[in-house]
Structures are given as structure tokens and as C-alpha cells.
Amino acid sequence: MPRDYQLISADSHVLEPPHIWTTYMPKKFHDKVPRVVPDGEGGEAWQFAPDIAPAPIGIYASAGRSHQDIRWTGVTFAAANQGNFRGEPRLQEQDVDGVDAEVLFGSARMMSHFFSDDDPEFQLAGVQAYNNWLAEEIMKVDPTRLIGLAAIPALNAKAAIAEMERCLKLGFRGVWLNTFPSVGEKIGPDDDPFWDACQQNEVAVHFHVRVMRKVAKPKPKGKRGDDLTGLANVGAADMITDMPEIISSGVHDRFPNLTWVAVETGSGWIPYILEQLDDRWWRNKSWLPVKLKHEPSYYYRRNWMSAFMVDHYAVRNRHLLGVDNIMWSTDYPHHGCDWPQTRKTVDEMFRGVPDDERRKMTAGNAMRLYKL
């Protein structure tokens, strides 16, 4: 009997467990894999390398803790909700929260450890280890509720296609990119073979928070994860540039059936930048090197979706965004979630929204995108 989806989080997370790298990577790489160490304040952290400060797990495993108790340090894997990294408990945590399914992302901080290594074999082994662990220990428990997106290596388009195709056979329902496939600072022709392969396979492309323009070693608390501004404008700060650059590149004319998803970027700011793009395009298209068949906002509405957490502006401006273009999310188990009170948050945010529109944003659009 088909599941009656009412709440699907389009952006949730897993916390990579302590055993993942030594279990799923070849032994010859074990001397370079991240290790769990004490964080110095009673919790645990990932040690990426001896010359990098330990990266605490606190706000990435904060589900169920009161706001005044959330901090970067002091959280252990044993004390955290076990659904952070185990499939069966994750289903139980969904049930407690009233959430029917989640789209699962890993940590860009963790991926950066592998992306920044000089050995491409080590990088690919790390990316594949994450994907294999997610498929084997999480998705397999219930693929109708635990929706995996394949991490894509930052090597070149050929390697990206190979990993995407391998992961589709494992049951993944989309791809999660941190960099462009060719690892350039801007989208370019070398990326086209990957977009073509995704379009042919009807696979949506996801960028979580931002496009990583330059590969760098991971920072212990992310790009700006330890200040209010960085926590507040995360996603929008970068995607307000990333999305227009992708649209103006002409990629959507070349691959008109490919769907792109901006995740944990929020959505309320998007109508403003679309208006500005259209205005500047109409005024300047006679001399700009940008050659598009349609005005920029057309491509957003045809080719893009975005995921938001608490974003009352997006809900109020849903018709400017397109009710079919936006998806609600929890960010579970990160500090942006309200577990186990998610239903209360959703009811408050969608108060007064017609039921059919609410269901599209909280479940229906994700059902369509991930073929649930």
C-alpha cells in the first residue's frame, strides 16, 4: 500500500559514525582517515589531521537538546540520538517527530578532508566509503523513508559520472555536489558531460549551502559556523551568486530537463534576485556576453527547486517563488531543527495556507522529485 506522505524533509543529515572509514576504506588508507578524539570539554570531535584542530560534533548532533544547551562541544556519539548514524533508530526518531521521510546529506566539512588530499585514489575511496555506508547501513533499512543522495568526488566529470552511475545501482535518488564536476571555480564546458549524464538518468543535481569554488582543508567549525552572521546567512550568502551564475551560463538551454536543487539556502530571498536578474538582462542583453533563450527567472521556475527550514518569507511569497519550486525541511539533527516539536513549527509557519499548497511544499514536491 502506498505511503501517505505528509511531511518529507528535503534537507536532513547524517553524522558519519566512528567506524565508517576503517570499515569501508581499504586498509592502506587507514593512516590518513579521520579519527574520533576527545573535544576537550567532555565531548568528541573528528581529527582530520595532526595540524588541524579537532572538529567537534556538537551542533551537528543537537536534536533534542534545548536551545540553551546547544554548543559545539560536549557531545559524544554515545549520548547523541542514535538515528544520527543508524537506520532503525532514525525511523523511530522520524516517528516521534511526525516526519514521514528525509532526504539525507552528509557533511561538507568531512568531504573537504578527502577533496583536499593530493591522492585522487584516496579521495575517491573516501567518497565511495561514505556512499557505501549510507546505502548499506541507512538507506537499506527503508528506502521509502531514508532517501540517499550520492556524494560526488571532486576530481573531474568522468569520475563524477562513474560514481553517479555506480550509486544509482545502489538505490540513490539524486546527487550531492560540493564542487562543479570539473572542479573549476566557475561552471564551464568541461562540466557538460556530467549534466548530460544526469539529465539522461533523470537525476536531480543538489548543491548544499554553496558551490565550493576552491577545494581547501576542512575548518573545525565550518566556513563561519561560530558567529551569528555566518549561522544566519548561511546558504543565501553564497547561493545568491551561485544560482545566477549557473543560470546565466546557458546550461539550462543545453539541458532543459535537468533539475537543480539549492539546499539549506532558504528561499525567501530568491524572488528579489530573480527580479534583478530579469531587469538587468532586459536592459543590457544587447551587449552582455550572456546569451539566453528566455529571461533568467524562466529558468528558475522551470529548472530549479529550493529547500528552506524556518522561512516565513518563502511561505508568504510562495506564489512568486512557485508553489511547485520550494520544499520544506528540518535540517535534522543539526542545530536548525526543532525535533521532536517539528509539527508545531510546521503548523505555525503554514498557518492560513490552503491544504493543497501546504502539502506540495511539505511533501508533494519531494515525492515528485524523488519518485516516491
Share of the chain above pLDDT 70, in %: 99
Instruction: Please state at what angle helix 157-168 crosses helix 192-200, rounded to 10 degrees.
Output: 20
Name the average pLDDT for the chain.
95
Structure confidence at residue 223 as a pLDDT band (50, 70, 90): low
pLDDT at 56 over 90: yes
Give the CA dihedral 155, 84, 225, 55, nearest 10 degrees.
-70
The grid cell for 105 is: 546529506
How much is the pLDDT for 288?
93
Candidate from 40-49, 165-174, 227-236 with smallest mean pLDDT: 227-236
Q: Residue 231 has what pLDDT?
A: 85
How far apart (Å, rounded) are the C-alpha atoms in residues 177 and 251?
Answer: 16
- 253 pLDDT exceeds 90? yes
Query: Cα separation of 224 and 210, whole Å?
Result: 13
Alpha-carbon gap, residue 151 to 172, rounded angstroms: 10
Residue 240 has pLDDT above 90, yes or no: yes
Which residue did the predictor score with more confidence, 51 or 245? 245
Taking 70 as the threshold, does the pLDDT of residue 227 lie above it? Answer: yes
Residues 203-223, mean pLDDT to the nearest whole number: 89
Q: Which residue has the cell 538582462?
A: 281
Least confident of 175-184, 230-239, 281-290: 230-239
69, pLDDT greater than 90 = no
Cα-to-chain-centroid distance, residue 325: 16
How is the beta sheet containing 150-151 ordered, strand by strand?
Answer: 150-151, 175-177, 205-208, 260-263, 304-308, 326-328
Secondary-structure breakdown of the chain: helix, strand, coil percentages, each rounded to the nearest 5: 45, 10, 45
The per-residue pLDDT for 225 is 67
Instruction: Please report which confidence band the pLDDT of residue 370 belongs to, taking 50, 70 and 90 as the band edges.
Output: very high
Distance of CA 186 to the CA centre of its chain: 19
Collect all residues with Cβ–Cβ distance below 8 Å to 162 and sequence separation of at least 6: none
Q: What is the pLDDT of residues 354-368, one digit of tens each?
A: 999 999 999 999 999
| Contact partners, residue 37, CB within 8 Å, separation at least 6 | 44, 45, 46, 47, 54
pLDDT above 90 (res 64)? no
pLDDT exceeds cutoff 70 at 224? no
| 35 strand-pairing partners | 47
Report H helices in 257-341.
Answer: 270-284, 296-303, 312-316, 318-321
Distance (Å, rounded) from C-alpha 183 to C-alpha 85? 29
CB 331 within 8 A of CB 337: yes
